[in-house]
Amino acid sequence: MAVMVEAERFIRVFPEGEVDHAPSENLFLCPMNVTDGIDLSSWPSEEVTIDGTLCMDYDELMEVDKRGDFLKCLTEVTNATTHALDMLGIDASIIDGTLLGWQRHDKGHIPWDVDADLTIMQSHCRQAFQKHATQQHQNMAALLKDHLPTDSYYRVAGIKYGVGSELDPDEWAGCNTTEIRVMHKYRGVSCHADVFQMLQSTDPSAPCQRCPLPGNSSATAVAVCRSSLSDQCGLLEDVLPMRWDTLNGVNVKVPANPEAALRSHFGSTSARLINLKEIPRNYKYGSYQLVIGEANSDDDDDDDDDDDDDDDEITTDNGSTTDGIFLSDDLDAVKSSDKLSADTIVTSRSALVETVKSPVLRAETTALPELQELQAERFISTISVSFVACLSIFGIALVYFFVFKSTLLTGISSAPTTPFASYRQVRSPPRNV
């Protein structure tokens, strides 16, 4: 039976309200009440420390609802959709939250992102559909589906922009929709990429007329927008030409001016990481706040006390506890390699991987029933082995006894009926006649 030991974890919150970039190990998702009772009057001028026991670090977040596989699913669907559109002659760039992850998280996804986002020019879509579509392709969803990989699950549908529900295939034709969704499955996890079509002010219907152009724009500047409502306004020169780059190690395309493209989506909202604030624009993790800092468990601060009070927590030296019972197979938190080294220790914190669904497991130092049960089982096992060994020795001795007795009796039965007389005849000297 595994023994998991949970210790308190404290997070030293960095004295920064907004951060351009932070390594994954410095990002934590915490309950909104994690700062209750904390004096924040001196923050962000000075650091503060909070109890982060109920917070999730990056590794723990990746285990919640198979989030690690979900992000891999997003990577695959983004890459596959980009290449499928490229085969049709359509440039598709990552945009919105996916572009923000690329810029802010070392060309990766935002750890708590919920979908992937791409953008194409509707004029390019119409040209490709006219060139490649057959009678079997009523709209771009059907044509795109034929160019996606066939060795895994993909489905494509038109989406009601701003609503999110699917359009029936008969409800639209060609490229006449603002949003196309590509759905995918990876290791049983579902995800999708939304492909948004951008309009431009030079289109026949002259959309994007409400889009304000920057003051330094040229007279020939072309405005772009995402719908006839003139939202997500920007400049065509910030979108095209797109260029190849990477996202989580796979090929994708990015806009000509990523920073300007992000401003067109987020507007005045900061695209930076905002410390001690709720996760923005996120229906799944919006009830959490982001904490940017460095974690320190209570064991890091009390190493000296641990040396004097070994009974208060389980530590190992060469994989064994202070009472000599080997526990490396029974402790989930043991750090191991091909061979346990002399400095192997039991980490004081087991993985908090189901924070959303299950409470934190904390083994109090005054009661470890699993450990006591393990010790009792091994004591009984030792006694049993000793008892079996004794029985074996006794059995061997008994066998030798019966063999000796059998041999002795056989010799006696074959001797003369007057053994003592015969003995005297052999051993007595001859008489003088």
**Of 301, 322, 357, which residue constitutes the final position of a domain?**
301
Domain match, 45 and 146 both:
yes
Domain match, 284 and 385 both:
no
pLDDT in tens, 247-269: 999 999 999 999 999 998 888 77
Residue 361 forms part of a structural domain: no
**Of 301, 321, 337, which residue constitutes the final position of a domain?**
301
Domain match, 290 and 377 both:
no
Domain match, 257 and 403 both:
no
pLDDT in tens, 73-93: 999 999 999 999 999 999 999
Q: What percentage of the chain's residues is helix, strand, coil (to nearest 5)?
A: 35, 20, 45
What amino acid is encoded at 387 in this protein?
F
Q: Which of 59, 51, 50 lies closest to 24, judged by CA? A: 59
Domain match, 178 and 279 both:
yes
Domain match, 28 and 150 both:
yes
Domain match, 32 and 115 both:
yes
Domain match, 282 and 377 both:
no
The number of domains in the chain is 2
Residue 111 forms part of a structural domain: yes
Quote the CA–CA distance of 8 and 299 in Å, as a whole number. 9
Residue 159 forms part of a structural domain: yes
Higher pLDDT, 141 or 320: 141
Residue 189 forms part of a structural domain: yes
Domain match, 297 and 378 both:
no
Residue 132 forms part of a structural domain: yes
Residue ranges making up the domain that contains 125: 1-200+236-301
- Asked if 273 contacts 22 with a C-beta cutoff of 8 angstroms, the reply is yes
Residue 417 forms part of a structural domain: yes
Q: Summarize the confidence of residues 18-33 as an average pLDDT.
A: 96
Query: Interhelix angle for 96-104 vs 258-266, to 10°?
Result: 130
pLDDT in tens, 200-217: 999 988 899 888 887 777
Quote the CA–CA distance of 32 and 55 in Å, as a whole number. 10
Residue 130 forms part of a structural domain: yes
Mean pLDDT of the chain: 79
**Of 280, 301, 322, which residue constitutes the final position of a domain?**
301
Residue 321 forms part of a structural domain: no
Higher pLDDT, 425 or 35: 35
Domain match, 255 and 383 both:
no
